[in-house]
Amino acid sequence: MKNITFSLRYLWFLPFILLTSCGYNEMVSLDENAEGQWANVENAYQRRADLIPNLVNTVKGAAETEKGILTEVIEARAKATSVQIDPSKLTPENIQKFQQAQDALSSSLSKLLVTVERYPELKSNQNFLDLQAQLEGTENRIAVERRKFNEQVKSYNKYIRSFPQTIYSGWFGFDKKGYFEATPGTENAPTVEF
């Protein structure tokens, strides 16, 4: 009878043993890594958004006839900064919405920078050249942070979809996270004609 009493007294510890053997702690760790990297992605995009007003103001002074493109950039920036994702809800659908808003801003910025080519006074303006260099550097940072985010998400998704974690991950609310994907059409190289 003494052995049975001893066993029952420590039975409360059994759920903790099961939780550690199902990989719960590792799922938490990988989830936190992905959410932390998401913060880095948002930070890089915020840096770009912060540069845009200065760029627009610099161009506005020299290119008064380009108000349509400037307005498009400002509106795209407003839309891109309004799309916020809760780090705990990095679903494929939410990532896609975020990426679409950011891609629209990238497209508007590209149009603006192409338009600037028609204004030699802008191309020689040191303030504009500095902003353009900062924007290019920021675009590189964004690409790096997105790649790192995709790597974290890959590790997380792989782990929660592996056996036996696939059994437990849904119980604890660990759902598959979304990736950043290439913008449709970027797989085709642009045609250059002289």
pLDDT for residue 86: 87
Torsion of CA 11, 14, 15, 18, to 10 degrees: -170
Q: What is the pLDDT along the chain (194 residues), one digit of tens a residue?
A: 445 555 555 555 555 555 555 678 888 889 898 888 998 999 998 988 888 888 888 777 766 666 777 888 888 888 888 888 888 888 889 889 999 999 988 888 888 888 777 777 777 778 778 888 888 888 889 889 999 989 999 988 898 888 877 777 788 888 888 888 876 655 454 444 43
CA-to-CA distance for 83 and 95, rounded, in angstroms? Answer: 10
Give a yes or no: residue 183 inside a domain. no
Give a yes or no: residue 189 inside a domain. no
Give a yes or no: residue 181 inside a domain. no
Domain that holds residue 97: 21-81+88-169
pLDDT for residue 183: 66
Tokens 């939410």 belong to which residue?
94
pLDDT for residue 162: 82
Nearest one of 81, 71, 75 to 48, comparing CA atoms: 81
pLDDT for residue 1: 46
CA-to-CA distance for 108 and 49, rounded, in angstroms? Answer: 12
Count of domains for the chain: 1
Radius of gyration from C-alpha coordinates of the chain: 24
Torsion of CA 155, 160, 165, 171, to 10 degrees: 150
Beta carbons of 46 and 84 less than 8 angstroms apart: no
Record the pTM: 0.72
Give a yes or no: residue 13 inside a domain. no
What would the two tokens of residue 184 be? 């449709």
Tell me, what CATH number does 159's domain have? 1.20.1440.20
What would the two tokens of residue 168 be? 């437990």
Give a yes or no: residue 94 inside a domain. yes
How many Cβ atoms sit within 10 Å of the Cβ of residue 186? 10
CA-to-CA distance for 103 and 91, rounded, in angstroms? Answer: 18
Give a yes or no: residue 161 inside a domain. yes
CA-to-CA distance for 142 and 148, rounded, in angstroms? Answer: 10
The dihedral through the CA atoms of 120, 113, 77, 38 has a sign that is: negative
Length of the chain: 194
pLDDT for residue 135: 85
Tokens 């920036």 belong to which residue?
77
pLDDT for residue 192: 40
Give a yes or no: residue 159 inside a domain. yes
Cα distances (angstroms) measured from residue 1 to each of 7, 8, 92, 146 = 10, 11, 56, 61
Give a yes or no: residue 135 inside a domain. yes
